[in-house]
Structure 1
């Protein structure tokens, strides 16, 4: 896993690297600036375009000064630097790089408090005003400058974080923040980059390695982690000779009503494609023909009207419930029956979550280590309205521990919150997957993994990753604008085989 650090932890990592590599702080700044420039020159190759570098007087500004100097050394023809002198304070490394810059021919302008802002005509602006340590909203001269820069029709590239952006914590909807077309960030993405609250301010971001001591970073034991492909390769268990369908468990998908059979079919099919030895779909009698036609490998448990079917509980290795189930009394009775009688972890999705939100007496019946898979609105129905995603994560941490459950909060970077206080961010998926039925497929995958004896935590992590990875393999190389859930489900065996190779 890639640790995602808070701002104080980032400073700890810098300090440890400086003390133990050893390397001076200004040389570490030089290394970071060189990494930034290495990425920049490969993606902005036109050296005739004017570039304005806006610097504060802290270490982020010091980065900006070094970047300007290095771009000049790379033969960029029109570099100018504007230093916002809104404080009498300046960091030592800023001062060192300021002195170095003055030894060049780069144009330098200083902006003083209350002064008019200089005209700006450069098509590219590099934002190095304020760094990752910001902990309060912008005000005064910085607010005025950021509003001005945002009003320009330019390409803005931010150094590490956009000015005014909090690396972690709540971002207010009316916050004044640089709107960056690109952020080139150091060492690892900032936690808030992975949340939808960043959307108005960051079009895309790239990480460049600056050589912070990785062993120390991991020793900080951040609760926030990004899932990497190598993690999934370690977790997945290849199939072995002499195994049989019983080896990989028997999953039960409880889903569908007469008008919502699609959700049941997608979920059950994904469960089978993800590797469960046997998959049974508990569906209404009216959906039996559709089930048999869609995928004959699936077995059926038929529901007759409001009658709760008799379920042989010991027969099933895992249960997923909710896709297209409905919120009527028969659905409630069936959900309550499952919760009361099944003792292993259950995957709870869609309509089952909505039933849970309106029938509080059901919470106490949920088996330990079960998995809730809400999207944003379902999460808020379960746990109350939230103004932003950071607050949802904090609520999720409290509730996961309190209830002994896993919460998989669906998002571009799906968030997995564990009862032990870990927060995992999935790093696969794409916008082509934004279509109805994708969540049903994910429920099937996770239920399948539980049937195959993966732990709840492993099932969440692997399930989210392979779901997104299959979508990436379909969409990105083929430039598909939309990936359909049925396509994705059928892709799963190939995706998982590649990861196991």
Structure 2
């Protein structure tokens, strides 16, 4: 699913109107109907809020609010409307103002007559949409401050008023703090960034049949990976497969006191469908690993507490390094040797050896940035924001971090998985893919090690292209966490639960989408 700019979204609306022979008012009616269905979903047909206030600005966002007010009134909701005065109103605003029944109370907002809002009021924020180009000021800012102070249940139409769709607004700007946001057709970039969570609340996208042709031909660096995107992305296994069909992977992981990371990564790799797995670990972890992961082969390092040797890489189709590795100088030397070896074409004709770098491997890269020049093409890096900062620089805000992420992936020709809510995958071609799966219960030790193991398994599978494998791993990892949380609850979730649910998650990604039209 694509994520468009505000300007592209306006062009999408116009293309829909032209292609489908609509008026702009008819498209607005679709949006209002979608909002009405949201109300039905929240309150049902017979149980309605005692007081619903619609705050309507002078543009088309306000027109959406006026159309919704009429539909809610017709559905027997108790509604009232407060209008933000302006010198000009959009034509569709005027159309819907004329259609509003006289029985709906309407008041014009002024500095001395702000609308009454209690904590029990349901407020529809239809003041300003994605066309906003400067911070709110004057009466509009006063209305937003009044609304936020009331702590009412707020539904934002398309985007919370005052929030920019794809850029940061100045500090201390007036922005509506919504509990829910309903957008139309496609999500907004602003919804996916931590700094905007307090404004957006829980968000969802409603289908209003916008032009699929326009969306298909419009280019954007931003994408949203959802269930429809991932349906059928895991190829079925051929009947005459054998363990060599799905690759032999090497895991370099573990140090004294951190063998759990190696065990979790190995378990995820095995559950991810790898044909063969060999783990190279320090001698102190040999018994632990052999007892916990009998399906894997194990190479013991000469050093008892950390990894100091790089095995022969010839047997392997992919290598991961980092979980529980530690930052010993000898392990740093192993990382350098691995990067130097992997950057060379295999057998002089094949692509570089696929690599996955996580945890302490990333910390070592941050300490020795000269190693970044050795990264082979399509290497996979999986930093959390602090680890990414060590590789680049501190970000001014979440939007700046996305710029740094995109530049880094392009400069080093690698795939970077920036972990967090809506984990973002950056590609060498400059695309950013935000993930839809996962939950706060996955913010637990070992969750990243599980992702590394799954990435290793899918990068060892020659049937998948690099980008396909990484996007699939990120999505399936989050989906496994969602399946696990359904059983354990978010607070009770541990990384081992994610490993146990990788099989069912990948199975869902092997199923083709059902065509319901």
Q: CA deviation at 1:218?
A: 1.8
Which residue pairs with 1:416 in the alignment? Answer: 425
CA–CA distance in 1 between the matches of 2:355 and 2:173? 40
Q: CA deviation at 1:438?
A: 0.3
CA–CA distance in 2 between the matches of 1:32 and 1:345? 46
CA–CA distance in 1 between the matches of 2:414 and 2:121? 50
* Partner SS, residue 205 of structure 1: strand
CA–CA distance in 2 between the matches of 1:371 and 1:60? 42
Deviations 1:378-414 (A, max 9, x none): 1111110012222111111111111111111111111
* Partner SS, residue 138 of structure 1: coil
Which residue pairs with 2:99 in the alignment? Answer: 100
Q: CA deviation at 1:280?
A: 1.1
Deviations 1:280-334 (A, max 9, x none): 1111000001001111111112222277325211111001111111112012111
Which residue pairs with 1:470 in the alignment? Answer: 480
Q: RMSD value over aligned CA atoms?
A: 1.6
Which residue pairs with 2:461 in the alignment? Answer: 452
Q: CA deviation at 1:455?
A: 2.1
The aligned runs of 1:84-483 (5 Å cut-off) are: 84-85=84-85, 87-101=86-100, 103-112=101-110, 114-121=111-118, 123-305=121-303, 308-343=308-343, 344-453=353-462, 454-476=464-486, 479-483=489-493
Residue 93 to residue 141, structure 1, CA distance change in 2 (3 Å): same
* Partner SS, residue 223 of structure 2: strand
* Partner SS, residue 271 of structure 1: helix
Which residue pairs with 2:20 in the alignment? Answer: 21
Q: Is the 8 A contact 2:233 2:509 kept in 1?
A: no
Q: CA deviation at 1:173?
A: 5.0
Q: CA deviation at 1:190?
A: 0.9
Which residue pairs with 1:52 in the alignment? Answer: 53
Q: CA deviation at 1:48?
A: 5.3
User: Gaps spanning 5+ residues in structure 2: where?
Assistant: 344-352, 512-517
Which segment is superposed worse, 378-387 or 171-180? 171-180
Q: Is the 8 A contact 2:232 2:509 kept in 1?
A: no
CA–CA distance in 1 between the matches of 2:160 and 2:188? 11
Residue 38 to residue 300, structure 1, CA distance change in 2 (3 Å): same
Which segment is superposed worse, 306-315 or 201-210? 306-315
Deviations 1:438-489 (A, max 9, x none): 0010011011101112222112100011101111112126545332111211
Deviations 1:131-164 (A, max 9, x none): 0122222222211110110000311111111111
CA–CA distance in 2 between the matches of 1:326 and 1:414? 25
Q: CA deviation at 1:193?
A: 0.7
User: Gaps spanning 5+ residues in structure 1: where?
Assistant: none
Residue 410 to residue 171, structure 1, CA distance change in 2 (3 Å): farther
CA–CA distance in 2 between the matches of 1:477 and 1:138? 44
Q: Is the 8 A contact 2:231 2:508 kept in 1?
A: no
Which residue pairs with 1:71 in the alignment? Answer: 72
TM-score of the superposed pair, with normalisation by structure 2: 0.93
Q: Is the 8 A contact 1:376 1:409 kept in 2?
A: yes
TM-score of the superposed pair, with normalisation by structure 1: 0.96
Q: CA deviation at 1:276?
A: 0.8
Q: CA deviation at 1:116?
A: 4.0
CA–CA distance in 2 between the matches of 1:323 and 1:47? 52
